[in-house]
Amino acid sequence: MSQCLFCKIVRREVPASIVYEDDDLLAFNDINPQSPTHVLVVPKRHIATLNDLQPADDPLVGLMTRRAAALARERGLAESGFRTVFNTNRDAGQTVFHIHLHLLGGRALGWPPG
Active site residue 100: yes
Half-sphere exposure of 31 (CA within 13 A, CB side): 7
32 binds, among ligand 5GP, Zn ion, none (CB under 5 to 8 A by kind): ligand 5GP
- Contact predicate 100/47, CB 8 Å: no
Q: Contacts with Zn ion in 4-23 (CB under 5 A)?
A: 4, 6-7
- Contact predicate 96/5, CB 8 Å: yes
* Residue with Cβ nearer Zn ion (6 or 82): 6
Q: How far is the CB of 26 from Zn ion (least distance, A)?
A: 11
- Contact predicate 114/92, CB 8 Å: no
The residues assigned a catalytic role are: 100
Query: What does the binding site for Zn ion look like in residue numbers (CB under 5 A)?
Result: 1, 4, 6-7, 46, 98
